[in-house]
Amino acid sequence: MMSGCPGSRTMTFAKEDDAQVPAGKVPSQLRQWPIQLHLVSPSAPYFQGADVVLAADCVPFAMGDFHNTYLKGKGLAIACPKLDGGQEIYLEKIRGLFEDAKINTLTVVIMQVPCCRGLASLALQALKESSRKVPVKSVIVSLQGEVLQEDWAAA
């Protein structure tokens, strides 16, 4: 019988070590530094007019092709809605992305665990409070990296 928080429940995923994977190095699609939401600034040049991904910390580890599927050609900020402090600062930063950086779109990629929904809620709250509206897409990723849901939010 399972109990406790699904976000911290212990699980093991059986994998075949010799499973077929493409040969050669997979190049990084990261175009900036820093990436942590407390460290980035909406005034950074890589955010101006950009398509931006706001990813929960666990997403790039769960999702094998995160770089090519979501990061390619986009600005990035990462955060954990469960463990990070100062989330009111996050709210202001995301609003700053909409209003000051005048980003083109925001794609919020979160894990399927309930605590991760907080990041999507934070982005939508910032959009609601923003004077400038931008399309926001919400993507939910399973613990094994499958995209479970991908929807545009009402702008």
Partner 1 sequence: MEKYLRTPIKEIIGKYPPVGALLEEYRIGCVPCSVGSCLLADIVEIHNLSPEDEGALMAGIAGIVSPGQVVALPEPRKRSPESTRKISYSPPMTALVEEHKYIKRFLAVLPAVLDRFDARSEADRALVRDGLDFVRSYADRFHHAKEEDILFACFDPGLDILKAMHEDHERGRAHVRAAGEALARCDGEGVAANLHGYAGVLEEHIRKEDEILYPWMDRNLSTRQVGELFARFRAVDERFAEDRKKYESFVERLEDAYAEPISEVK
Q: For partner 1, which stretch binds (CB under 8 A), given 3-11, 30-38, 114-122, 132-140?
A: 132-140
Among 34, 45, 64, 73, binds partner 1 (CB under 8 A): 73
Whole-number CA gyration radius for the chain? 16
Number of residues this chain uses to bind partner 1 (CB under 8 A): 18
With contact defined as beta carbons under 8 Å apart, do 142 and 62 qualify? yes
Cα Dmax for the chain: 52
Asked if 65 interacts with partner 1 (CB under 8 A), we say no
Asked if 152 interacts with partner 1 (CB under 8 A), we say yes
Q: For partner 1, which stretch binds (CB under 8 A), given 32-40, 60-68, 86-94, 145-153?
A: 145-153
Residue 82 Cβ vs partner 1, minimum distance, rounded to whole Å: 26
Among 29, 36, 48, 104, binds partner 1 (CB under 8 A): 104
d(CA 136, CA 152): 6
- Rounded to the nearest 10°, the torsion over CA 51, 121, 139, 58 is 90
Amino acid at 106: L
112-140 b/e (C-beta count within 10 Å ≥ 16 → b):
bbebbbbbbebbbebbeeeeeebebbbbb
Residue 21 Cβ vs partner 1, minimum distance, rounded to whole Å: 20
Asked if 48 interacts with partner 1 (CB under 8 A), we say no
Residue 128 Cβ vs partner 1, minimum distance, rounded to whole Å: 14
Asked if 99 interacts with partner 1 (CB under 8 A), we say no
d(CA 29, CA 79): 18
In the complex, the residues that contact partner 1 under the rule CB under 8 A are: 51, 73-74, 103-105, 107, 133-135, 137, 147, 149, 151-155
